[in-house]
Each structure stands twice: as structure tokens, then as C-alpha cells.
Amino acid sequence: MMLLPEVRRNLNRLGLRPDRDLGQNFLVNPSIARKIAAAVPEEGSTMEIGPGLGSLTEQLLNRCGSLTAVEISARMSDFLKERFSGRSLTVVHGDFLKLDPSAIPGFPFSTIAGNLPYSISSPILFRLLEDGFRHVTMAVIMLQREVAQRLAALDGGRDYGKLSLQIWPLFTVEVLLDAIQEDFFPPPEVRSRVLVLNRRSEPLASGDTYSRFRRLVKVSFAKRRKTIFNNLKTIMNREEACGLLSSAGVDPDLRAEQVPPDRFLAMAEAMS
């Protein structure tokens, strides 16, 4: 397991410095890596996003039958291939946000794991909603704590919004552990949290209903200070907006953050 001195040595060896734009904060706490890996099922195919120098990769290899690591840095990709030569690891050099999952060795993946770059964590999460990742039954992911709070928020308020609502029909969200700045090199300015996303055995919305649900959520939260009625009027006329809200039992004077998830789902179903 890599600790801080070894991380420093390997970065120097590769002639690299942590790239802030890529969100490179390397995990140096072995206990955190072991706990993340322990939450990953032993069976099935696992993809690790952003393995970096392989602190988590090492623990995942001790547990997973099939592991594919997607790394955007060419030098780190080569380093991982060398470090884990002879192990059951496939390293893919590429940008997770741009890769076709069906073209990645190990597809279809049942589990996603990783210490996600903070700057692109939301786009990564939204990729899990795509059809190419429909086989993923679990994701064990490290996020900025504020993002993790938004992802789990379903009871209204400031954290409740587009992120949690779009995940809600497909996945449940649980907190695994919290991490502090000193668990990483370089220490980030924020604290981190590991979440476990478990795919629901039956989605709360699917197909066209889920597409309508996502559109309603995005529109309703477009201007958080406006009422949901005023936001909906950007995609439909006044009478349609009134009728839709009435059918779902939603007060038109409420803001979107005051509307429970099941009411958004009721609106999406009514639009059919």
C-alpha cells in the first residue's frame, strides 16, 4: 500500500506534479483504501475510475476477480501496467467521460469504484445513468463531501436538487465513510466522503417516464428562486403548467426544492 513517501518518490520518478485541473489528490491512507475495496463485491467485473498511482487499485486487486482501470494520464497508465504486471488488471488510457463503455475490456461492468476527480464528479455520476452502464449494480465512490451531501439529499432544502433527484429513481445512496484532507497528497481544500450507490431491483421510473422526469427536474430547478410554476412555463403554456401541477397535487407557489421526489414522478407520469 502506498504511503506518502512512496507517492512522492513515484511522482518524482515519473517527473510529474499533481495536476489541479485533473483533480489529482492521491490517497495515502491505507485504511480508507481497504474499506472502499471491502465494500466492492468479489464477483463480477469492476471498473476503477482515475486509479492514479494505484493505492486503491492494489486493494481492489486483492478482492476483485476482474478489474479494469481507466486512467487519463499516459504516464500513470504506463506506471500502473508496470507496477501491477502479472496481476489480473487491465489498464485503459483514456477519458472516462468520452469512452464508449462497450469498447472497454471487462464490459459489461457490474461495479464502479474510484476516488473521483472533484471537478468532474457530477458528469461522471450522470454517465452511470446512461444505457451503457445499465449493468452496474453498485458504485463505491469518493466525492467532495458537499457533492456527496447533495447526492443523498431528498428532503428538500439547499442540497436537494437535480443531482439527487436524477439518481433517485435508479439508485439508493448510503454513506460508507468520511475522509479528511490529510488522507491525501496533496491535501485538498475540502473534506471527502465515500458513498455506496446500489441500483434498485426495479427502477422507480424507466424509459420515456424517466426521460420526462429528468427534463422536469432540470427545468424546475433552472431558477431555484422562482416558483416551480414559473419555471415550468418555460417549456409549456400557463394552462398546461397549472394542469400538470394540479394533477400531481403540487402547489404552484412552491419552489422546486419544496417539492418531494414522488411529486416530480407523479408529474412525469401525468405527462404520458
pLDDT at position 119 is: 86
120-168 pLDDT, tens digit each: 999 999 999 999 999 999 999 999 999 999 999 999 999 999 999 999 9
Same domain (yes/no): 62, 162: yes
pLDDT at position 2 is: 60
Cell matching residue 132? 451503457
Same domain (yes/no): 160, 216: no
| Continuous H helices in the chain | 4-14, 30-38, 55-61, 74-83, 121-127, 145-152, 162-167, 207-220, 228-232, 238-247, 261-270
Burial of 48 by CB count in 10 Å (0-12 exposed, 13-18 middle, 19+ buried)?
buried
Q: 142 lies in which domain range?
A: 4-199
Q: What is the dihedral of CA 50, 135, 124, 218, to 10 degrees?
A: -170
Give the contacts of 103 (CB within 8 A, at least 6 positions apart): none
Among 6-20, 176-190, 216-230, name the one with the lowest average pLDDT. Answer: 6-20
CATH assignment of the domain containing 22:
3.40.50.150
Q: How many domains does the chain have?
A: 2
Same domain (yes/no): 30, 52: yes
pLDDT at position 1 is: 54
pLDDT at position 176 is: 98
pLDDT at position 6 is: 86
The mean of the pLDDT values for the chain is: 95
Same domain (yes/no): 32, 69: yes
Which of 199, 233, 254 terminates a domain? The answer is 199
Is residue 185 within 8 A of residue 12, CB to CB? The reply is no
Cell matching residue 175? 454513506
Q: How far apart are CA 131 and CA 135, in angstroms?
A: 8
Which of 151, 167, 199 terminates a domain? The answer is 199
Is residue 265 within 8 A of residue 204, CB to CB? The reply is yes
pLDDT at position 272 is: 73
- Sheet containing strand 89-93, edge to edge, reads 89-93, 66-71, 45-49, 111-115, 138-144, 192-199, 171-179
pLDDT at position 18 is: 79
pLDDT at position 102 is: 97
Is the pTM value of this prediction over 0.75?
yes
State the helix-helix crossing angle for 261-270 and 207-220, rounded to 10 degrees: 120
Which of 155, 173, 199 terminates a domain? The answer is 199
202-261 pLDDT, tens digit each: 999 999 999 999 999 999 999 999 999 999 999 999 999 999 999 999 999 999 999 999
pLDDT at position 33 is: 96
Among 12-26, 153-167, 174-188, 199-213, name the one with the lowest average pLDDT. Answer: 12-26
Same domain (yes/no): 126, 227: no
Mean pLDDT, rounded, for 41-69 = 95
Q: What share of the chain is helix, strand, coil (3-state, %, to 5)?
A: 40, 20, 40
Same domain (yes/no): 212, 139: no
Q: Is the pLDDT of residue 54 over 90?
A: yes
Same domain (yes/no): 171, 242: no
Q: How far apart are CA 9 and CA 26, in angstroms?
A: 13
